[in-house]
Structure 1
Amino acid sequence: MPRPLEPVSPALRVALGVSFFVLFIAGWAWLTFGGHVARIFLADPLSMLRDGWRLIVEDNFLVDILITIWRVAGGFALAAVVAVPVGIMMGAWKPVEAFLEPFISFARYLPASAFIPLLILWAGTEELEKLLVIFLGSVFQIVLMVAVSVGNTRRDLVEAAYTLGSSSGGIVRRVIIPANAPDIAEILRLVLGWAWTYVIVAELIGASSGIGYMIINSQSRLATGQIIFGIIIIGLIGMVSDFLFKMLNRRLFAWRLA
């Protein structure tokens, strides 16, 4: 039995992670090939791969994947550009926090999907509507999480900067932002995963392209293999983006890991 919080070697971490996927696929194959679940409800792994290959070769599914990635990247980048500065201001200046926090706390509980009918009325069914769904689903979460992180900045660093003659603006630029940059980057990495749920919801309603559009079309035809393939593609893209985000954070903030 490993001890709590004891780290594992990189090789063991990879082996354990791969073993879970192997067991998962084995259980899936046992359920479907063994006849325990009807294939109309759950396609077997081989059928899923055949349906996925057909989507890519015959239905130009790669274009749908690229469109969805663009929507996630665009909406999330817009949310980050707005939310990070607002979150820093809320965490650094208590009057700003007192002014904005009640509204942010209220707005972050509003599901982005509830705004889709209004956004379709305001922006139509084109790309702007999809970007706004992702923006609304991400921006309030980022603001509050960044504000909490900045608000927990070590007081001794701030007091030391005041002692050395820094102004309030200088403390924010030279102490608060550098001290919290790794945590802010981690917050963005986590919220990026949520953005994927919002884009799929946006594509399920009033869309003519994207992974979500393919999934809802496949549902109407009971093509469970295509549905599962679309879900797996979302997971793979998310896993790759998460890995790239972690790698970038390690390079940018290597001093934090030392």
Structure 2
Amino acid sequence: MDASTAKFPTMTEVPFREQTVYTKPTDNDKNKREECTCDTKPVLVRKDSIESIDSDYPRPRRAGRVPPPPRHYPAPAPPYPENRSLDSATQLLEKLGKEDGLMELPTPAHSNVYLTTYPFGDKDVKKWAWLLAAGVEEEYLAETSGAIGLNGKPIPSVERVRQRRNEFPVYDPGNINIPSVYLSRALDVEVAPEDSKHNIRYLIVVQNRHRPAGSKLLVAESRKAAGVIMYYEALRGESVVFVGATVHQCKTAGPNKFRKVASLEEAASIQDEGYVGVVC
């Protein structure tokens, strides 16, 4: 076989493929990268405001807020009441000059008593002079007008108060609804010391609450005895309306002979003149 006449197969034509060639960047490409605005914030061309946005995009009306109902808290517990009980005669004397108000008495006495330190004056001594001059103790008396004296004025006298049995308790303005105890400076140990050289007597005037109204005189020879008497009368519902101290030896004296004095020494000095000085 002749080699010159032999036919060889032809190779298929390969299609042309364009190859990308990375070339070195030029100055134009660099300028394009610098002009990138990816990281910059957008700028509004139009001057928008809240009013313009509302006109373009109307927002729904805000729902009205309903206020919650008021809270109701329970009332705070009242403060614990102060103990204002009067349980003994010693406690009664300790209230001298320190108390002015209602005090509670133990059962079965009356529930309350008005306790205060009263500034007695000459008018109070003259008011009870008829009872002090009568010299009758532990008896309810009432002042009455007796015979006419030489000077044309009625002579004061007293009569015993008695209550009828099964008597209807009608209203009497002389009655005292709330018992009261009026202490005085005569019970002050600085004014009338218990170890005084004078023979002190405490004059206590008690007024009842029943009908008919009357007053009685009680005499104590010591401050402690006076406190016991007043406390017992308060437990019974009676009122102590006058307390005074004197150095008089319970001699006979008229109602016009009683005078208010400031000290026991002054009471002893006017005793020789026939007057009875009452410290109150």
TM-score between both structures, scaled by the size of structure 2: 0.20
More strand by share: 2
Question: Greater relative contact order (Cα 8 A, min sep 6): structure 1 or 2?
Answer: 1
Larger radius of gyration: 2
More helix by share: 1
